[in-house]
Amino acid sequence: MPLVFSSPPISTATAHLLTFLFAFTYVGSLYVSKNARLSFSKQRSNNSNGTPHEKLRDERWRDDPGVIKARLIAAIIATLISCGLVFSIIWSVVGERPDRVEVTLDTMIARLGFKPDRLDLDMILPHLLTPVLFIGPLFGMYLGRSLPFQARYSFQVDVVDKFTTWIGIRNYIVAPITEEIVFRACVIAVYHMSGASAKRMIFLGPLSFGLAHAHHAWDTFNRYGRTACAAKRAILMSLFQLAYTTVFGFHCSYMFLRTGSVYPAISAHIFCNIMGLPEIAWELKAYPNRKKAILFAYAAGIVGFACTLGPWTRLSGMYTFWAARPYVNMSY
């Protein structure tokens, strides 16, 4: 039975510090090993066509298989460290008792949302929220005949080749799982134990997730030639990524709080990585005779998402973090 706290076991300042530590450990781990660090030529590129310069033999880019392998190992280790920190906090609160290990482990599993999902409609619906929001892009894929069982869909290309490469393993498996565990489960767990409100956990927690992507600016700056234009591109891309990942974090944090499970957030992350950013402008240009249908599909996705967000994340008979005294209500 998970431990029930009668008062917040940690302070808000401690929660802030731990959140910073989670982010620092995760991002910092990517640069500890020499094999995981990126390497660029210090030469400036005269490339002015808005594309990355040609990779030199002595350079190490983030999509190199060796770099990906090293970074995947680092991310997994950093995730285990973050989970261990949550475990140690609960361990210290539990104190000496015969079932200390069992209670600490059960509490950590509950607070990190690791409890296995039930195989019923209540636990399936949260996983369908993000696809509802993407009705517009999915309709665009339908027009392009690239959905499963359509003419341009290839299981070999769209599934096997996509998910078995090192880039695919990183983008669609390891990164979504480890990032949601660290930046969703661990971050919300410590804010929850500090007595933070649901609003604070939804809108404050994801900031660390957004900021953790800022280090990609260095990669962009170097790949585009280390020029003033490259610096501008790196800053703009980082700001956009900060905004996009933070807003996405709001969505995943809400689902985590409502369901008490990290799995809907993981599935949403994987789905978004597969779909990429919506390309409504390109779709409107590519299919001029279907403009109204495309706009309707995008509007339907937004309206459908807004209408189902609450009902599809309301689980009956199962603990959620959605409570008046969030640090107390911790039993199933």
* Residues recognised as catalytic: 179, 213
- Where do we find the tokens 């280390």? 226
Residue 97: Cβ-neighbour burial (10 angstroms; 0-12, 13-18, 19+):
exposed
Region of 16 please: left (phi>0), alpha (psi -120 to 50) or beta. alpha
- CA 233 – CA 255 distance, rounded (Å): 33
What are the residues whose beta carbons fall under 8 Å from the beta carbon of 292, sequence distance 6 or more?
Answer: none
Contact status, residue 264 vs residue 255, Cβ threshold 8 Å: yes
DSSP string, 232-261: HHHHHHHHHHHHHHHHHHHHHHHHHHHHS-
Residues 6+ apart with CB under 8 A from 250: 202, 203, 206
Distance in angstroms (rounded) separating the CA atoms of residues 251 and 292: 28
